[in-house]
Amino acid sequence: MLIPQLINGLTQGSLYALIAIGFVIIFGTMNLVTFAHGEVYMAGAFVGAFAMTLWHLPWFVALVMGMAAAWVLGFLIEKVAFRPLRTAGHMPPLLITIGLSIILKDLAVVLFGAENRPVPSIYEQTVRLAGVQVSVLQLVILGLAGSLFLVLRLLIQGTKIGRAMRATAQDHEAAYAMGVNVNRVFSIAFALASCLGGAAGVMIGIYYNAVYPTMGGTAGLKGFAACIFGGLTSIPGAILGGIIIGVVENLTVQFLASGYRDVVAFLVMVIVLVLRPQGLLGRKLRTV
Under DSSP, is residue 129 helix (H, G, I), strand (E, B) or coil? Answer: strand
Q: Beta partners for 188?
A: none
Question: Residue 64 — φ and ψ, nearest 5°?
Answer: -65, -40
> Is 70 exceeded by the pLDDT of residue 3?
yes
DSSP code string of 246-271 = HHHHHHHHHHS-GGGHHHHHHHHHHH
Query: Where residue 288 falls among pLDDT bands split at 50, 70, 90?
Result: very low
Contact 280, 272 (CB under 8 A): yes
**56: left (phi > 0), else alpha (psi -120 to 50), else beta?**
left
> Is 70 exceeded by the pLDDT of residue 287?
no
Cα 222 to its chain centre, rounded Å, is 9
Give the number of other Cβ atoms within 10 Å of residue 274's Cβ.
Answer: 8
Residue 277 DSSP code: T
- Cβ neighbours of residue 189 closer than 8 Å, sequence gap 6 or more: 25, 26, 29, 30, 165, 168
Q: Rounded to an integer, what distance in angstroms lies between the CA atom of residue 189 and that of residue 195?
A: 10
Side chain identity at 183, as an amino acid letter?
N
Each domain of the chain, given as residue ranges in start order, spans 18-214
> Is 90 exceeded by the pLDDT of residue 44?
yes
Mean pLDDT of 43-64: 96
Query: What does pTM read for this prediction?
Result: 0.93
Q: Rounded to an integer, what distance in angstroms lies between the CA atom of residue 109 and that of residue 98?
A: 17
Question: What are the pLDDT digits (tens) for 145-196?
Answer: 999 999 999 999 989 999 999 999 888 888 888 889 999 999 999 999 999 9
pLDDT of residue 285: 53
